[in-house]
Amino acid sequence: METQRFKDQVVVVTGASRGIGRGIARQFAKEGAKVVLASRDPEALERCAAEIEGEVVAIPTDVSDPKSVAVLIQKTEDQFGRIDVLCHNAGIYPHKRLENMTLDEWQHVIGANLTGTFLVVKACIPIMKAQGKGNIVITSSISGPRTGLPGFSHYTASKGGVAGFVRTAAIELAKYRININAVEPGNVMTEGLDALGEEHIQNMVRAVPLGRLGTPADIANLTLFLASPEASYITGQGIVIDGGQTLLESHLLEH
């Protein structure tokens, strides 16, 4: 049942053109929010905006570029005058083994995932501070804060950094009544997994005690809870949502 918990609230969702970000944006719109979609891919962003019912604005944005982030926040403020919720979901995860990784490849991922988090959160602070409240939810990962992932040392370093950033930011922002938390998903079924093939997907499923991959809707449900009044006493936390994936001592399960 749709509750309209976010009726007329202004919600910015980065990385909104596909996967988890699109699921988050769609759910906020269903619950009455005015949703600002941000992504580096203008065409995918427009397709996403056309699919979502409600008041939706699409603003192409590169979260690793301070000028692009400034445009996103300024356009949002110009149109709506406020930002109630920031859902920072944008991120990249290219595969590369550490021994073969170049400095440019390392810095590209850190710039998008960790520096991008800093830039977008920092840009929202003046608006949220002026309005006397705000809510920030970062899409992180179990990889880095909870587990290692071979071939993704740059990605896990960035998400481990996000965990530390969220804890410290929560302390600094609490006096402005701004809450900030991270959602840490395990394996989620998005468009990017299709290319891996059914066998690989089933291997991923076997690593999850609940016997299925997560969905964008699963992540959206937790994100909306953390952005809601019901979670007003939660800040600085990383909340795992992984079907029990991080509970295992071994990926071999008895079924």
Which among 93, 155, 176, 233 is annotated as catalytic? 155
Cα distance between residue 107 and residue 114, in whole Å: 10
- Give the whole-angstrom CA distance, residue 139 versus residue 240: 11
Integer Cα distance of 153 and 196 in angstroms: 20
Strand partners, 96: 152
Tell me the DSSP string of 144-205.
TTTB--TTBHHHHHHHHHHHHHHHHHHHHHGGGTEEEEEEEE-SB--HHHHTT-HHHHHHHH
Tell me, yes or no, if 93 is annotated catalytic.
Answer: no
Which positions are catalytic? 155
